[in-house]
Amino acid sequence: MHVAWAVGAAGLGLLATRADAAEARYRFSIPPKSYADALIDLGMQANVSVVGTSACGAGGPASLSGSYALDDALRRLLAGAPCSYRIVDPRTVRIAPPAPVPEEPIRVPTLVAELMVTATKRPAGLGRIAAGVSAIPGPQLELTGAADIGRTTGQLAGVLTTNLGPGRDKLMIRGLSDGAFTGRARSTVSTYLDDAPINYNAPDPDLRLTDVERVEVVRGPQGALYGSGALTGIYRIVTRKPDLETVGGGVSSQLASTKGGSASRVLEGHVNLPLVRGQAGLRAVAYHDVQGGYLDNTSLRVSNVDRTTRDGGRLALRVQMSDAWQADFAATGQRLRSNDTQYTTPDIGRGRVNQLRETHKNDFAEGAVTLRGELGWASVSSSVAYVQHTYASQYDASEALEDFFANDVADLGLFYESARVSMLVEDLVLRSSGPGPFAWLVGAYAASTLEKTPSSLGVRNEAAGRLETIYRENRRDRVRELALYGEASYRFGDGWTAVAGGRLFETRVRTLADVTAAPPGYSRMFEGERTFQDILPTFSVQREFASGDLVYALYSEGFRPGGFNTGGFLGPIRPSRTTFVPDRLRNYELGAKLRLAERRLAVRSALFYDRWTNIQSDQYRPSGLAYTANVTDAWIVGLEAEVAYEFDFGLSLQANTLLSASEITRPNMDFAAELVGELPGVPEVSGGVLAIYERPLGALTLRLTGEASYVGRSAVSFDAARASRMGDYLRARLAAEVASDRWAAGVFVSNPTNDAGDTFAYGNPFSFRRDGLRQVTPQRPRTIGVRLAGAF
C-alpha cells in the first residue's frame, strides 16, 4: 500500500501538457511498407494509438527513418497517401479519408476503432487478421471497471472464466472446455504479459489491469505460433511502455460498499520519467486492492470471511539504442491473499459450516528483456522472460475422512496443497520487411519449466486432540520445450492472400514423486519420463475488399502433451490411470469482418467447427485427491459475433455473443460409468452488451456507461453423477463520470438488481456432492462505489 501511495504522491508533482507532447521527438525506423503497415509501426515506435489505418488502403510503399516530432513524422510518412490524419490527443492519432477530419470531443476508443493488435506476432489492425481476434483498449478497461481478467469477459465474445475465487480461476474460450477444475493438465488458454507466457497448468495469477494499453484475445487453437499452451486461444495483456519524451503520471482511488458485506478499496498510480530524453525512460506502476468479504461461516461464527487483498506493481525501462534498435526491461510482481473461498451451501443460506478457513495465496513475479530491431530486410524481436509463480490453498477435508479410515477416530481433516513454478522462456522472431506480395515469419522457441507441488492431509484424532499427517506427496515436474515455427503469406489477384505455417516441436516431461501414506495407505516412489514430438500446421485464405471488408477461411490445430498421475492414498485405482496421453484440437473456421454505414458499424463474426480427441481433464477421486484423465472425444460447432455502432451524438454501442453446441463422441468408460452429453463448464449461449455515452459539458465531459452480460446453463463436470448445473445468470454494472483532461470523478453500481445467480457449482473437492449438499458460488451482492482519478 505504501508503494502505491508513493507513486500517487509523485504523480501529483508531475506535469505533461499537450504542448510538451506535440514537441516531443521520437526515433523512427520504418522500412518500406504499405501505408497501413507503416502507420502500425509508427504507433508502436511512438507508443501512440493509431486509429483507422485501413483508411489508407493497401497503397505505398512508405518509409521513415530519423528523429521527428509526431506531427512531422505523420506528414512525412503520409506524403502522397490517399488519407489524412489528426492528432486527437498526445496518445491518439486518427486516420481518415482525404477530406479533413472535423474537430470532435476526445472519445473512448471502441470496437468501431481500427485498433492495432500484436498477438499474432505480426502487428496488424483488427479488421485485417484472418482469425477471431478481439481487443479492449485501456481507456475502456478503466471506464468499465474491468480491473482483472474476470471482469473483461463480458466484453469479449466467447471468453469465460470459472469463479472459484481470486487467483484460483481458469479461462475458457469458444466453449472449448476441458472441465471446470484446475490440476495437472496444461491450461487450454495461454495467458501472456506482453511477450511472455505467464501460466502453465496453474490457475490464472489474476493480475490487476493497472496502466494497461489494451487486452488482446485470439480465439481458436494457436499451436503453430504459440505451441501447446494455446490449445483454444491466447489472452494477452499489453502494458503501457515508458514515454521517452514527456514526464507524466496519475493516481486513482476507489471506495465501495457491498450489501451485507464489508467495504472495498483500491489505490493505484503510475509515474513516467524520461531518464535521457529521447533515449531512455522509466515507468513505474503500483496498486493496493482490498475486496471486502460478503459470506459468513456459521460454524466458526465469522462474518465476511472471503476478504481478498492484492498488492503489486511493475517497473519498466525502455532504452532506444539507435534509430533501429530498442530494448525493454520489465519487472512485475503481485501478492494476493484470500482469507477464504467464496462458495456456499444453499441449505444454510449465504454461508457454510466449514470447520476451518479455506485460505489461498497466489504470488507472481516476472522479469523480462525484449530486444527489437530492424535489419533492413527483416525486423527482429527477441524476448527472454523468467516467471516465478507460487500459490497454495487449504481445504476442510473432514467430510472425506471416511475414505481414509474405517472407523470414526478423526473429526477434522486439513488438506494443504502448494506449487512453486519456475519458468524460463526465450522466443526469437524474424519478420520480413518490405511492401512486396510475399511475406514471411520464422521463430525459435525454448522453455524450461520446473514445478514443485507438495501436498499433505492432516487429521485431528479425537482421543489425542492433535493434528497428525496421514498423507503426503512431494512431486517435482520438469518440462522442456523446443520449437521451430514459421508462416508465409502471398498476396495475389484482387485482394486475395494465402497463408501457410507450422510448428515443429519437442516436449520432454520428467516427473518424480515421493508419496507417504499412513496404513492402510500405500507409500511409494515414482519416476517417469516421456517425450512428445509433432508438427502443428495452419492454413488460411482471405479476401480483403477495397472498402476494407474482409472474409477468410482458416484451419488450425492445438496440442497438449501427456503426463503422469502419482497421487492417491491407495495409489492409482486402475493401472490405466497412471498416465494420460496428449490431446489434439482441429479447428475449421469461416469468418467475416465488415465496416458498414459509413464505417460507423463494425461487424466481426466467425463460424467454427472443432474436433477434439483424447480430451484431458482434471478430476477428483471420491477421496478428494486430484488426477488427470483422458475422458472422451468431442465435436464442437459455434457462431461468435461482435457488433458495434458509433452514433454521431456521442453514443457507442457494443454487443457480443457466442452460440455453441458440443457432443461427446467416444466416452472413456474407464473414467466414469456415465458422462454428460456435452462439454462441461461452458453454456450454449453467452454474450454481453456495452453502452458508452459521452457529452461535452463546457470544459468537462460527461460519460455514462452501462454493461450487462449473460452466462447460460452448463454442467460442472464430465461425470454425470457429479454434474451439478450452474449458470443462467446476468451480470450488470452502471457508472457515471465527469472528467476533464486531467481529472475524473465518478460513481458506479455493480449487480444493481442484487441477483445471486450460481456462477460456479463447486468449491471444495472433499465435500463436493457429499451428503446431498450442493455447492453454489453466488455473485457479489449489490456494490456501490465512488472513484476519483487525476493525471498530471
Distance CA 551, CA 310 (A): 43
Residues 6+ apart with CB under 8 A from 31: 63, 374, 376, 379, 433, 434
pLDDT in tens, 529-561: 999 999 999 999 999 988 889 999 999 999 999
Last residue of a domain, one of 104, 127, 150: 127
Average pLDDT over residues 461-468: 74
Please say if the pLDDT value at position 179 is more than 70.
Answer: yes
361 and 339 both lie in a single domain: yes
Burial class (CB in 10 A: 0-12, 13-18, 19+), 98: exposed
Q: Over pLDDT 70: what percentage of the chain?
A: 91
The more confident residue out of 177 and 520 is: 177
63 and 148 both lie in a single domain: no
Kindly report the CA angle at 234 between 230 and 236, in degrees rounded to 5? 140
Residue 11 has what pLDDT? 40
334 and 471 both lie in a single domain: yes
Which range, of 112-116, 149-153, 422-426, 731-735, averages the lowest pLDDT? Answer: 112-116
pLDDT in tens, 90-118: 677 888 776 544 444 445 555 555 677 78
Please say if the pLDDT value at position 598 is more than 60.
Answer: yes
Mean pLDDT highest for which of 455-459, 498-502, 571-575?
Answer: 498-502
Last residue of a domain, one of 66, 100, 127: 127
- DSSP 8-state secondary structure symbol assigned to residue 670: T
Average pLDDT in the chain: 88
Residue 42 has what pLDDT? 84
156 and 105 both lie in a single domain: no
348 and 494 both lie in a single domain: yes
Q: Over pLDDT 90: what percentage of the chain?
A: 60
What is the model's pTM? 0.89
Q: Are 170 and 153 in contact (CB under 8 A)?
A: no
pLDDT in tens, 23-51: 577 778 787 877 877 887 788 777 777 87
pLDDT-derived band at 149, boundaries 50, 70, 90? very high
Which range, of 374-388, 398-412, 472-486, 666-680, averages the lowest pLDDT? Answer: 398-412
183 and 288 both lie in a single domain: yes
pLDDT-derived band at 674, boundaries 50, 70, 90? confident
147 and 74 both lie in a single domain: no
Please say if the pLDDT value at position 643 is more than 90.
Answer: yes
Residue 81 has what pLDDT? 85
169 and 96 both lie in a single domain: no
Residue 350 has what pLDDT? 62
Q: Are 235 and 169 in contact (CB under 8 A)?
A: no
pLDDT in tens, 749-767: 999 999 988 999 999 988 8
CB atoms closer than 10 angstroms to residue 708 = 16
The CATH number of whichever domain residue 12 belongs to comes to 3.55.50.30
C-alpha dist (Å) from residue 118 to 133, 214, 242, 552: 10, 11, 18, 19
Cell numbers 474482409 correspond to what residue? 550
167 and 68 both lie in a single domain: no
DSSP-assigned states of every residue in 331-351: EEEEEEEESS---B-GGGSSE
91 and 154 both lie in a single domain: no
pLDDT in tens, 201-252: 878 899 999 999 999 999 999 999 998 889 999 999 999 999 998 899 999 9
How many domains are contained in the chain? 2
Please say if the pLDDT value at position 303 is more than 80.
Answer: yes
Please say if the pLDDT value at position 378 is more than 80.
Answer: yes
122 and 136 both lie in a single domain: no
The CATH number of whichever domain residue 462 belongs to comes to 2.40.170.20
pLDDT in tens, 347-366: 665 667 788 899 999 999 99
Residue 772 has what pLDDT? 61
Residue 106 has what pLDDT? 47
Residues 6+ apart with CB under 8 A from 649: none
Please say if the pLDDT value at position 631 is more than 80.
Answer: yes
Backbone angles phi, psi at 66, to 5 degrees: 130, -175
Average pLDDT over residues 153-164: 94
Please say if the pLDDT value at position 453 is more than 50.
Answer: yes
pLDDT-derived band at 409, boundaries 50, 70, 90? low
DSSP-assigned states of every residue in 489-524: EEEETTTEEEEEEEEEEEEEEEEEEEEEE-TTS--E
Last residue of a domain, one of 95, 127, 159: 127
Residues of the domain holding 50? 4-127
DSSP-assigned states of every residue in 11-79: HHT----HHHHHH-EEEEEEEEE-HHHHHHHHHHHHT-EEE-GGGGTT---EEEEEEEEHHHHHHHHTT
86 and 142 both lie in a single domain: no
Residues 6+ apart with CB under 8 A from 451: 200, 201, 419, 420, 421, 422, 476, 477, 478, 479
pLDDT-derived band at 15, boundaries 50, 70, 90? very low
Residue 741 has what pLDDT? 86
Residue 464 has what pLDDT? 65
Helices 70-77/35-46 angle, 10° precision? 170
Q: Are 219 and 591 in contact (CB under 8 A)?
A: no
In this structure, the dihedral spanned by the alpha carbons of residues 239, 242, 247 and 250, taken in order and rounded to 10 degrees, is 20
C-alpha dist (Å) from residue 373 to 31, 197, 431: 11, 22, 11
